[in-house]
Structure 1
Amino acid sequence: MAVPDATIQLQNLKGIWRPIYAHRTALHSTADAIVLAAWRRDVRGLDLTPAVVLAGEGADPAWQHRRRAAAAAVVGVLTAWSWRRTRAAIALAAKRAHRAGWAAGYALLSQDHDDDTPYSGEPDSPYTIGSPDMDDHRADSTATAVLTAALTATADRAGRAIADTTDDDPTGDGEHIVDDGLDLVLLTDAAVSAAYGAGMLAAYLGAGTRSVIWLTAGDGRVCPRCSDAEAGSPYSLLAAPTLPQHPHCRCCLAPA
């Protein structure tokens, strides 16, 4: 059955949703800033000259083959580089997101929904299951997945820039793309949303909640996929759609 009036109405937040979305907005902003800062520290000293040399050796003159060769060469350089700070920052962001999601879920379970006062982001868990904390292995796996995807996407963009440039020194265009970290930020945002949703579900699991509803942001930017997810509510905890449904998804899961 569909849940009537489930939409959050993000442009006119009331009650408990005010502090929840204030926490969530701050969470994403902080994660993006911390991870991007770590990436830019890690990228210092990176030289794409070897990639340019490898991409140019025996490259097919067709532009699509030049792009593929350049992207593959950049991937080789990037994956050989140390991303210690970036990996640690992603893992930390995922852990913080999981706990923030748990805190939001706990607030929805324990606080009057008309109460718009801030809630604690570090509550003591009364549960033996549904931990508020993401374990180290899962956080490290999340960091590895995000970093791997970011390096591949960045290498593809940098490789295109190197292959298409008419400058005498093509490394500059590629290195500028690597430095901007746009792919990393996009993928980190998605990972933070996923960890946040997992944290919410952990809180619901610990409280014995049996079903949840999918809530959209209630404006013209809501996509058909998220509208369908809302219309299909409620869901059992194990069958609920996974956050996020797409990059920059603003939806939320609430106990039914």
Structure 2
Amino acid sequence: MASPDYSDGCMIALYPPPELAEELAVEGGLPVEDLHVTVAYLGNADEADAELFNEVVQELAERKPFTVKLAGLARFTGGDKDVLVALVDSPDLEDLRRDTLDALYERGIEIPRDHGYTAHLSLTYLEPEETAPLDRLPARDVEFTALAAVHGLDRTDYPLAHPMESVAREAFAAGWAMSGGPMTERVQVACETAVQIAAEEADDPDILRATIDLGRLEGMWALLFQRREEQQAKHTKLIGDAWKPLIDRAAVAAAIDEFRLRMGVAEARGPDWARIRAEALAVAKKMLYALVDVAGFGKLRQTLRDAIAAGRAEGAVNAVAIAAERAAQVGLDWNIAFQDAYRSMERLDELWADADGWLGRTLDGAAGDLGSVLADGMEAGLTRDELIDAAMDILTADDAAVAFTVDWAMTTAADEGALALYRSEGVLQIDIITAGDGRVCSACIDAESGSPWHIGDQPRMPLHPLCRCCYAADVSLSHFAAWMA
């Protein structure tokens, strides 16, 4: 059944998302692109000032997106043709309709008074005796994010946005810029959340100040995590550069010869996979722990000790940065602070013990990886040269156990550096704050929810490898005046 031609009309309308319009369209009914909910029909377009009309619609669009419910079917009768419609229920739509009539009236624009207003979305026109193509429409929610001004064949969509949103977005951006931090995914998510809160609390005279503060806070966190990542990448490379020269192909070949000899490959009548794996791990540990006698091992130990010192220094600076943010004090010079904190680590003998502990973990991790490669290679029937190549690959790969251990060691050091600073400042309680990224697990969330913690009772950070949760507390910034620009 052909639909009436309203191409010369003028209306304010809401158009459903295209994918929903596809679902609602019925065969022979209104085209998908024409499905809409009329807010107000103004009659013939020639009688409506297009510029004034669009001005009204743009003003009406200064509101948040809202959701309506399609609440079943109805069949309007009484005209030349019946109309099958989806009924629309929404108090927000009622508010929009009321505001629309008020705005039009204020500008002297009248609308036809032929009918009352029943919110609906027309699906198809039918002859009075014609059977409807649908007998039921399940209820569903539909979000409208734009208000359309339709003037004849011209349609302009105005995104629904609270007038506070653009102001709040600028306020958040101003705070973020003050921090000097990078624009990260977390900052972007925080901005949208801050804008939403600002729109909901638009009547609060302090909401924009709070939005600026939130932007600065998120910028500070972004900078904090960026600096940590940069430090860890830097020291991972330095330690990798010190590690790789220790892996001598001749020593690896000798270890594999010993492994093959132990297994008695030539005489073996059948595989004993448990024994293969045990012997592979034993040979791997023997070879790697022999590295402590290699000339370059001292450089590796020094480099790891430097990484731990850098981690501790960064943790101390992070602690002051968090305290400064809590006190709404800007001007921390991160680089000066880091250099000062790093120099204080020069004579800490305990860092050598820490370095030795992490070296042990590094060797154990590398031995586990090497043992698995040797055992798998033996089971797969690799030749001697193929086993040597596989061993060299795993021991010198960029994503080997070294990088994993360095990340864990420096994160642990950063958390210990922050905790040491808080203790030295007489802090009794601390919070745990998650990084807000995909590495946050249930243990992280529980630790954050349990804040504040008495120092000594808090979970020891990091809670897991690659954890980026932080300790946070208030400290007197007067002790760190030299760090402030």
Q: Is the aligned partner of 1:40 residue 2:40?
A: no
- The residue that corresponds to 2:323 in the other structure is 109
Question: 5+ unaligned residues in a row in structure 2: which ranges?
Answer: 1-183, 188-216, 265-270, 475-485
Alignment deviations for residues 75-101 of structure 1 (CA, whole Å, 9 cap, x no partner): 111111222222111100000111111
Provide the TM-score with structure 1 as the length reference. Answer: 0.84
Distance 1:99 1:62, change over 3 A: same
Match of 2:396 in 1: 179
Structure 1 residue ranges without an equivalent (≥5): 1-8
Contact 1:189 1:248 in 2 (8 A): yes
Percentage of pairs with the same residue: 24
Partner of residue 463, structure 2: 245
Which residue of structure 2 lines up, in the alignment, with residue 54 of structure 1?
Answer: 258
Q: Does 1:226 align with 2:444?
A: yes
Which amino acid in the other structure matches residue 11 of structure 1?
Answer: R
CA distance in 2, matches of 1:115, 1:22: 20
Map 1:163-242 onto structure 2 (within 5 A): 163-165=375-377, 166-169=381-384, 170-180=387-397, 182-242=400-460
Q: Cα–Cα, structure 1 residues 43 and 250, in superposed 2: closer, same or farther, change >3 Å?
A: same
Q: Mark the CA change 1:157 to 1:64 in structure 2 (over 3 Å): closer, same or farther.
A: farther
Instruction: Give yes or no for contact 1:74–1:155 (8 Å, CA) kept in 2.
Output: yes
Deviation, 1:44, is: 4.5
* Distance in 2 separating the partners of 1:29 and 1:78: 24
Partner of 2:303: 89
Distance 1:200 1:10 in 2: 25
Aligned residue type for 1:32: T
> 1:28-50: CA deviations, max 9, x gaps?
21121211121113324552122
Alignment correspondent of 1:143 = 355
Q: Is the 8 A contact 2:462 2:469 kept in 1?
A: yes
**Aligned residue among 288, 302, 305 for 1:78:** 288
For residues 407 and 394 of structure 2, the distance between their equivalents in structure 1, rounded to whole angstroms, comes to 19
1:110-160: CA deviation from partner (whole Å, max 9, x where unpaired): 45665676633443999xxxx953754222112211121221221222122
Q: Is the 8 A contact 1:28 1:189 kept in 2?
A: yes
The alpha-carbon distance between structure 1 residues 19 and 218, as it changes in their structure 2 partners (threshold 3 A), is: closer
Name the SS of the counterpart of 2:334 in structure 1. coil
Quick check: which one's helix share is greater?
1
Aligned to 1:99: 313
Change (3 A) 1:58 1:37: closer
Per-residue deviation, 1:162: 1.9
Q: TM-score, normalized by length of structure 2?
A: 0.46
| Paired letter, 2:251 | D
Q: Which one-letter code corresponds to 1:196 in the other structure?
A: A
The Cα offsets for residues 13-40 of structure 1, whole Å up to 9 and x where unpaired, read as 6243233223222122112121112111
SS state of the match for residue 247, structure 1? coil
Q: Which has the higher contact order (CA 8 A, sep 6+)?
A: 1
Q: What is the CA distance between 1:190 and its match in structure 2?
A: 0.8
Aligned residues: 245
Displacement of 1:199 in angstroms is 0.9
Cα distance in 1 for residues equivalent to 2:282 and 2:411: 30
Q: Is the 8 A contact 1:102 1:200 kept in 2?
A: yes
For 1:123, what is the secondary structure of its paired residue?
A: helix
For residues 185 and 308 of structure 2, the distance between their equivalents in structure 1, rounded to whole angstroms, comes to 24
Quote the RMSD (CA, aligned, Å): 2.8
